[in-house]
Structure 1
Amino acid sequence: MTTTTGPTGLLVGGAWRPAASGATFDVQDPATGAVVASVTDAGPDDALDAVEAAVAAAAGWAATPPRQRAEVLRRAWQLMTDRAEELALLISTENGKALPDARSEVAYAAEFFRWYAEEAVRIPGRLSTAPSGANQILVRHEPIGVAVLITPWNFPAAMATRKIAPALAAGCTTVLKPAAETPLTALAVADLLTEAGVPAGVVNVVTTTDPGPVVDAMLHHPAVRMLSFTGSTEVGKILQRTAADRVLRCALELGGNAPFLVLADADVDAALDGAMVAKMRNGGQACTAANRFYVHRSVHERFTAGLAARMGAIRVGDGKQPGTECGPLVDRPSVDKVVRLVDDAVARGARALVGGRAGDGCFYPPTVLVDVPADAAVLREEVFGPVAPVVVVDSDEEAIAAANATEYGLVSYVYSADLGRALRVADRLEAGMVAVNRGLVSDPAAPFGGVKESGLGREGSGEGLLEYTETKYVAASW
């Protein structure tokens, strides 16, 4: 077994420790199947210890001046930036993504620390006179308290910093539970935060292979006031029901089924550039990944030929190796899901212009499907892999109707040479985010989140900070 040089224990109250049971679990490299580390496997009692540590640190951190909190976050940004290559290799090792993708993730993840270092000193408030003139209305945003943060495996650094940074900026203390597939990156980020000056107990981390009892115990602790979760809609619904027992604040970033619309007047080359970013970021394993392509008949042939040529030229392999552009999927069940969706589409009449057959281990080749019928499962389910199903449409109306025919509403993509036309289409798309003539929407300064069954609340921007606050109104006379 090869071990990592980073921490593998639980971070509780500023100290690294084993689980009470002594249990551990192995983390594997999906490219090779090799075990890369043995990580502590927490139980409910360990999780409650972490919550108690967050409770003990809460008053002191909330009382810390915003400028001091900001300086800690700024140092975290600098440390993460300085160690970008080390962190990128760690992400690639446990997640499988190609190093260029991993490097981009580290830069994006670090930026949340810098953005919220700036936002920490700008928490808004308001003073006004009551309409009657009888008193003053004073409105403040105070830290909500202890927050439980649950992150997925696909962006193990960025999903952690996107939650930790606003929580710390607002004055909250936290318990982070990362995905069991990719715990090493979260542990490395927590270690970096300690070095940056985060006080003991402000950030705690519990890793586990049995998240149900662990999370349930934390959400029923009387001091926990918030849940922030990124993951599937199915799990999000379960957690929301659990959180309802104590009326906890919930910020839920859930599944997506993003449509990518190429209108009749679109610049096809620009649309292809955007499609490759929107589809192939992290090998398609992203909630923002373009999942369905609706292309006007007049440009369909050019677009599909170009997309097949670009997808077919992608170099697939071990993400840690130079030149690799697409690594493996995170595990074999993920491959099996992609196989099921592609086989279903082909059985219903779709054709694979490129790809379409699983490789060895956790590898699946970039795939373009055409002649995809409306009843194919790949148009209804989030494929979470490098598969691009393309559907012909004959009007903007048809494209909009197809795009909205889903219970999800995270992000949509629109390409058109006419900005007014694109914005009119964007207005009618049922999504929390719309990218116009761009293949990427994520930005720490922008409110990230969806509508319908894609979630509640927003991450990033000023809105992301306010998620971790309670609004207090004081009626004052003087």
Structure 2
Amino acid sequence: MTKTARHFIGGHWRDDGVDPLGSVNPADGQVIGHYIPGNADLADEAAAVAKAAFEESEWAASPRLRAQALMEIADALDAAKDDIADLVVAENGKIRAEAMGETMAGVSESRYYAGLARDIRGTMQEVAPGKLSLFAREAAGVAGIIVPWNAPVTLLIRSLAPALAAGCTTVIKPAAQTPLVHARIMDCLTSCPSLPAGVVNSINEDGIAVGQAMVASRDIDVISFTGSSRTGKLIQEGASKTLKRVGLELGGKAPAIVFPDADLDRAVREITHGILPIAGQMCVAVARILVHESIAADFEARIKAAVAAIRVGPGDDPANQCGAIIDLDNRSRLLGLINRAEEDGRMILRGQALEQGAFLTPTLFQIDDVSSDLVQEELFGPIATFETFGDEAEAVMKANATVYGLAASVFTTDVSRALRVSRAVRAGTVWVNAHLRLFAEAETGGYGQSGLGRLHGPEGLADFLETKHVYFEPGEVGG
């Protein structure tokens, strides 16, 4: 874990003589490795290399080559899964089961899009006798992929795999908090013989200059970004100057709605699991628990006991169920929010910082003011609000009361109610009697300020494809 993460441009590793920066384990504050920070000039160079690879290589016109490369990527990630998962634990702070699950999700994603790469089809329409309109689906060009720190494997591959399947070439900016994980993935890609040089390029960063250069670049045709809604708005604004396409998966404030007829044991289990993935640092994590007033007291006691029993600690200890916050600054931010919640609401379970590392135990608090920014804003930590409702209409109103619409869950044994409420909730994903079920075949994305476009599934290709109309007048036989 002492390797230095470098840039990767045109099939070559680069450091350009720049002094490295340290990457820190949030569980103990120790420097576990180093990375070379990049700059706007390197981002521009990588974009030019990716454009040349798109225009001059056979990549965009060779679906079988792309499928083979994606299968090789999947095999390489699978072979390195233990190394990658260990790095995720060390650099991101999550527990190892989550780290391995994330890594294997990246393998699955690569294999899924390897299949789709060979099934990108156009259509034909005969608009009049002897006059044909042909509609081709073509790669959009160079895709810029900006990766967050909270799931550095999955959230890279879920953009990279469809981009490659579509025929795009790419420039990637990994998160400054997880450069070693990213470098290990890039190591895997360098071992794939079917992946031409220049198709995948990567520039590290410790600030915003690389990302800004990618958004502004005339050589980059698509930006795929996962992160906060605030940053997503800035990216969309910057991209407007070149009118490049932007795919954004942004913040969330996922409600879990519990009706009186729900299987309460299952609801408690699913919601507890849903609050705490990646220590709550996940855009689809349960952030709001909405419970019918007739069962509120009973459910509060159940969920408090279940969440309080969660063991928090270093991710390399298999007994621990929740890992670290990404860094001490974010833990301090969350502690400040908990202090505010204690003043503005009724504390059910107060989170505590552990003595060592960026650890924080879970927090639950009741709040009645839906307009409070503690309800409205994404907190991004192991914190959930507890709110009550009287009927379906109020449940839906409260679920839809924020600007976000990424995910939600509904707990009821009434199938008709499940369908009614799921249809009425404004969210890109609604789970019924479950929370946090994600897989390559099913699209994810948001309503409102949770983003634009979809990732995963067949629609995940859409951001990386253009439709071309070719008109042709072959005439008629004997005409």
Pair 1:159 & 2:152 matched: no
What's the CA shift for 1:218?
2.6
Corresponding residue of 2:62 = 65
% same residue: 37
Corresponding residue of 2:21 = 25
Residues 336-381 of structure 1 deviation map (CA, whole Å, 9 limit, x = unaligned)? 22222222121023123x3333333411102222355435432111
User: For residue 351 of structure 2, what is the amino acid of its counterpart?
Assistant: G
Pair 1:184 & 2:180 matched: yes
What's the CA shift for 1:174?
0.3
Corresponding residue of 2:295 = 299
Question: Residue 220 of structure 1 is aligned with which of 216, 219, 236?
Answer: 216
User: For residue 466 of structure 1, what is the amino acid of its counterpart?
Assistant: A
Check 1:64–1:194 CA distance in 2 against 1; reply closer, same or farther (3 A cut).
farther
Q: Any idea what SS the aligned residue of 1:196 has?
A: coil
Contact in 1 for aligned 2:26/2:326 (Cα 8 Å): yes
Pair 1:230 & 2:230 matched: no
* Separation (CA, whole Å) in 2 of partners of 1:348 and 1:68: 58
Check 1:374–1:224 CA distance in 2 against 1; reply closer, same or farther (3 A cut).
closer
Pair 1:34 & 2:33 matched: no
What's the CA shift for 1:204?
0.7
Check 1:232–1:373 CA distance in 2 against 1; reply closer, same or farther (3 A cut).
same
What's the CA shift for 1:436?
1.3
Contact in 2 for aligned 1:128/1:136 (Cα 8 Å): yes
What's the CA shift for 1:222?
2.2
Check 1:229–1:455 CA distance in 2 against 1; reply closer, same or farther (3 A cut).
same
Corresponding residue of 1:89 = 86
Corresponding residue of 1:439 = 435
What's the CA shift for 1:40?
0.5
* Separation (CA, whole Å) in 2 of partners of 1:421 and 1:446: 23
Q: Any idea what SS the aligned residue of 2:5 has?
A: coil
Corresponding residue of 2:477 = none
Question: Residue 111 of structure 1 is aligned with which of 108, 114, 119?
Answer: 108
Contact in 1 for aligned 2:8/2:14 (Cα 8 Å): yes
User: For residue 201 of structure 1, what is the amino acid of its counterpart?
Assistant: G
Contact in 2 for aligned 1:96/1:330 (Cα 8 Å): yes
User: For residue 125 of structure 1, what is the amino acid of its counterpart?
Assistant: G
Contact in 2 for aligned 1:268/1:302 (Cα 8 Å): no
Matches within 5 A, 1:350-429: 350-352=346-348, 354-360=349-355, 361-370=357-366, 373-429=369-425
* Separation (CA, whole Å) in 2 of partners of 1:235 and 1:85: 32
Check 1:8–1:61 CA distance in 2 against 1; reply closer, same or farther (3 A cut).
farther
Matches within 5 A, 1:241-390: 241-352=237-348, 354-360=349-355, 361-370=357-366, 373-390=369-386
Give the TM-score, by structure 2 length: 0.95
Q: Any idea what SS the aligned residue of 1:363 has?
A: coil
User: For residue 198 of structure 2, what is the amino acid of its counterpart?
Assistant: G
Aligned length: 471
Which structure 2 segments of 5+ residues have no match? Answer: 475-479
User: For residue 200 of structure 2, what is the amino acid of its counterpart?
Assistant: V
Q: Any idea what SS the aligned residue of 1:467 has?
A: helix
* Separation (CA, whole Å) in 2 of partners of 1:251 and 1:349: 36
Corresponding residue of 1:3 = 2
* Separation (CA, whole Å) in 1 of partners of 2:305 and 2:75: 40
Corresponding residue of 1:120 = 117
Contact in 2 for aligned 1:126/1:138 (Cα 8 Å): yes
* Separation (CA, whole Å) in 1 of partners of 2:98 and 2:62: 36
